[in-house]
Each structure stands twice: as C-alpha cells, then as structure tokens.
Amino acid sequence: MKFTSNLANSKTLWNLTAGFGLLVYTVGLYITIMEPDAATYAIIPMEMLQRNNFIELFSRGVDWLDKPHFQFWVTALSYKIFGINNLGYKIPAILFVLLSVRYTYLFGRRYYTSKTGYIAALMLITALHLILSVNDVRAEPYLLGLTIYSLYYLTVYLEEKKWSQLLSGCLGLACLMMTKGLFTIIPVVSAIFFSLVYQKNWEELFSWKWVAAAIASLLFITPVLYGYFYQFDLHPEKVVYGQTDVSGIKFFFWDSQWGRFVNTGPIKGKGSLFFYLHTLLWAFAPWAFLAYFALYDKTKRLIKRTETGENYTYFGFIVLAFILSFSRFQLPHYIVPLFPLLAIITANTLLRFARNHRFLKIFSSIQLFTTIAIFTTASVLNYYFLRKLPYTDTMIIAIMVLILCVVIYKSSIGRIKQILFPPALAVLLVMYFMNRDFYPELMTYQSESEVAFYMNENNLPSDKLIYLDRNTWVTEFYLKRVIPVQNRAGFDLSKVSGKYVFCDDNGLETLKINGVSYEILKTFRDFHVTTMTSTFINKSTRNHTLINMYLVKVPETF
C-alpha cells in the first residue's frame, strides 16, 4: 500500500513522466529520415557544407527557393558537430522543442502560476503531433520554439520596458521569418496587437518603439534577404518554377506563404473551413477535448469582459487558426507552432475549474475514455501491422505504464492528476511503441533509404549509382552525395555503362528495350510511407500495395 501511495505521489509522477518523455524523444532520433519533405530539408544543409556556400540554397544541385535559410544554417552547424546523419539532422529539432517547453513553462508561471506552467509544459511535450514532428522533422519544431520565445520576451517588454527584452523578441521574430517566411509572425504580432486593442491601451499600441522593433526585425533578416538577392534577383535568367525573372525577395515577402493562403503562389491546394477543428482532435491528443472547452470558456469570458488573465495566448492562437481555416492550402502540421499557446490556455482553464466537481467528473471520464482509446488504437495497430511481437523492452514498459495508470485511477490522488497523467503516459507509451517497433518496420518499405543502407553495408561505390527516372533525396543523404538522374526519355546508353542503377519495373523495361544487360543485386519492396493506407497497414493485404524497386549492376560493355 505504501509503495502504490509513493508511486502515485505528485513528485514521482512528474519525474516518471518527464523521464519517459525524454526516452521517447531520444528513441525517435534514430528513425530513418522520411521522403520527401524531411529528406529534402536534410540534404540542403548537406550541400551547403559540401559546397562551402552558406548564402545560396541548392537541392540536388538545383536552385532552391521554397524555404529560407535559418533552419538550414542551424542544421549545417549541427552536421559540423555530429556529422551528416540522423543525429545531426534531428538534434536541433529536439533543442527547439526543449526551448518551447522552457518558455511555455516560463510564460505560464509569469502570467498565472508555477503549476500552470508545469501543466502547460506537460501538455505540450505529450501532444501527439509534436512528437510526430520530431520523428519526421520539417520546420515545425523550429517555429514552435521561436513563437513562444519571441512572444514571451515581447510581452515581458510591455511590463518591464527593457530594450534587451524588445531586441530578444525581435530576434525571435526574425528567426521565425528566416525559417518559413513572413506568415510565421502572425501569432506573435496578433497576440500583442489584439490584446492591446482589447485593453484599449492606445498609448502602448501606437508607441514609436514598435517602429523601432520592426526596423530591428528587418535588420536581423538581412542575411536571408541578401542571400535571396544574390542568388535570384541578380540572375533574372534563372528558371525557377518554370519562370524567369524571379525575385527571391518578392518570393520571401509574398509568394512563399501569403501566396499559398490566397492560392496565387507556385504551390496550390484546396481548403476546408473545419479542417483544423477536427485536426486538433488527433494532433493535440490527448488534450483536444480540454482545449475545445478552454477556448470556448475563454471566448465567453472575453465577450462578457470578465477575463482577468492575459489574452496574448488566446489572440495569438485564434487569429492564425482562423486565417489557416480560411486558407486554400492546409496541412496538419501548420497548427503545431500554436501548441504552446493552446497548452497555456488549456492548463489555466483546467486549474480554474479545479474545484468544480461537475467539470472534474465530466473530464475525468473523457480523459479515461481517451486513455482507453489510445491503448486500444496501439493494440490494433500492433496486431494488424507487425509481423512479430514488439520488442521485450516495449512490452515491459507497456506493463509498467498500465499498472501505473491503474494505480493512479485507484488511488486518492485527486481528479486533476487523474485527468493529466494517465493520458500523458498513454500517449508516451504509444509513441515509444511507434518509435521502437512501428517506424523501424515501416521504414523497411522506404526503398530509397534501404538502397543506401545496402550500398553502404556492401561497400558499393556510391559515385557509380544513378537513378533511372526517379528522384529521391534520402538516398543522397545516407550516401552523402548528389546522385545523377537518367531519364527514360532520351535514354543514353553510355551513362549507365559500368554503373549501379536504381529503378522500378519500367526502368528494367527501358534497359531491356535498349539492349542493356544487367544483374539484379537487390529487390526492394516499396511504399510511399508518409501516405499510409489501411490496406498497407494490414499485413494480410500489404503485398497488394507494394511495388518492386531494384538495384541493378550494368557491366562496362560499351
């Protein structure tokens, strides 16, 4: 009895959850990088180092305009320290997540209580899509940390009026823009602007210091502006997105993000007004239902003007969420940088209702249902996907987590902790299973990385590899070189002589038609792993979704 009581006490639970979270994120560092987006982000800084050129951006030797420089500079520095490998690519993402956790806690502590900060940090670090964002690293971990960092310092500046705080906030804004364009500062700017409008603080709103802040932010982004000007504006003859006379600076300020929103940029999409409403249901799991209620409660109090706390997090979240909902170009990960703001709102609301028995009863039941649903989903996924039992450590941890959850629910620990810890532990357990068992198995179906591993393991010369009608980025990352492409149209026999060719069935047919003899060294079963389907997940129907990819050796006969 004493053991279970000690196990369920607050300090033990916080320490166990924090340690488990760190373990889950650490295991995720070793998951193979995925095609195409993460792999693209990984090879651009690799080419930076190999070219010793940190001003211009290239992807597979072609001018790159889609995203600005900051993430690539950070990753290139990490490659210098850790090497061009999984750790080198993913460690910066982990560091920016930790930055977001720290400033989420600091923000919650400053404007509410230390307990609010801790709970917000717990919700943030266990939000499902955040963990996924560190597995499949794109720009979101960087935006996540920089958003709450810059908001924290700018709001603190409003109270303490120190220039160092204003400049820190401006530096954060600049790094946001240098990561993914002007659109990224909307949460911070709208948080400040609409909070001051709501307070009718016109003197602060129209202070000349905001002009100074804008100038400082522009000065901080001059390295990116210079890079774009040097690479594109000085070379109108370059063909980018099928056009000449392309301005890199115009793309940075308009087409990169604003163009996507109004659907005039080079990358277009379709949108749904309710896309992010239902996306939050899984992306911010297991806290989505609490978050929905928190947003409703906060909105109601703002309308009635009974709100006494800060409003930065609410306006920062709601304005960008509203804009994204009306955008024609929508992806689930666009909402991730807002998670620190949503976590703070949700944590504060949870504590505000800590003595409301009806609220606690309803949400303890919802969170119990959520916990059971998470465990059930993982069990079903394990049953249908894996061809073997999970690793022993996964099963041991699963048993321990299940016992701990039962202890929490059976103990007199209190409803708040029952609302918080079992769902958090459930998500971490599921993601440990995913990182330890599911993803390693899944990535064996990514032939682009498997062919690189095969060539490295068998000491095959990577400088003799060519693609036949297929571009892949992750192969180049793991082989640390740009691989030339031979197209089926205009096939050149001399370019495959004495080479290793990576191709599909159509590629083999091309070799046959052109009279090229070859030896198949390895056949890979391939699937586009970032677009999983139920047919693929089900191991009994998976073979119907797979295609063959081949590594073939062509002799030097001509």
**Domain boundaries defined on the chain:** 34-339, 357-444, 446-553
Helix (H), strand (E), coil (C) string for 261-320: HCCCCCCCCCCCCCHHHHHHHHHCCCCHHHHHHHHHHHHHHHHHCCCCCCCHHHHHHHHH
For residue 525, the model assigns a pLDDT of: 95
Q: pLDDT tens digits, residue range 71-117?
A: 999 999 999 999 999 999 999 999 999 999 999 999 999 999 999 99
Residue 111's nearest CA partner among 322, 415, 323, 316 is: 316
Confidence of residue 253 (pLDDT cuts 50, 70, 90): confident
Q: For the chain, how long is the longest CA-to-CA vector?
A: 83
Return d(Cα 79, Cα 92) in angstroms, integer. Answer: 10
Average pLDDT on 492-519 reads: 89
Element holding 19 (H helix, E strand)? helix 10-28
Provide the pLDDT for residue 236. 87
pLDDT recorded at residue 18:
93
DSSP 539: T
Q: In the predicted model, what is the mean pLDDT of residues 25-49?
A: 93
| Mean pLDDT (whole number) for 253-261 | 68
Question: Distance between the two ends of the chain, CA-based, in angstroms?
Answer: 80
Say if residue 3's pLDDT is above 50. no
Tens-place pLDDT, residues 363-408 = 999 999 999 999 998 899 888 998 888 999 999 999 999 999 998 9
**Average of per-residue pLDDT across 267-294:** 84
- pLDDT tens per residue, range 151-194: 999 999 999 999 999 999 999 999 999 999 899 999 999 999 99
Query: Residues 451-479, buried b or exposed e (16+ Cβ, 10 A)?
Result: bbeebeeeebebeebbbbebebbbbbbbb
The pLDDT of residue 556: 83
d(C-alpha 307, C-alpha 218), whole Å: 35
| Average confidence (pLDDT) over 311-333 | 88
| DSSP 3-state of 208 | coil
Mind listing the pLDDT tens digit for each residue in 189-220?
Answer: 999 999 999 999 999 999 999 999 999 999 99
438-469: pLDDT as tens digits: 999 999 999 999 999 999 999 999 999 999 88
**Percent of the chain clearing pLDDT 90 (strictly above):** 72
**Residue 274, pLDDT above cutoff 90:** no
Hey, what amino acid is at 480?
Answer: K
pLDDT, the chain, mean:
91
List b or e across 205-230, with b for residues whose CB sees 16 or more CB atoms inside 10 angstroms: eeeeebeebeebbeebbebbbebbbe
Question: pLDDT band for position 352 (50/70/90)?
Answer: very high
Task: Say what the pLDDT of residue 470 is.
Answer: 77
Cα–Cα distances in Å, from 548 out to 190, 238, 282, 520, 544? Answer: 50, 37, 33, 12, 11
Residue 36 has pLDDT above 90, yes or no: no
- Which contiguous run of DSSP H or E holds residue 468? strand 465-468
pLDDT value, residue 264: 54
Q: Mean pLDDT: which of 198-212, 320-334, 468-482 is highest?
A: 198-212
pTM of the model: 0.93
Q: Compute the CA torsion angle 448, 454, 459, 464 (nearest 10 deg).
A: -30
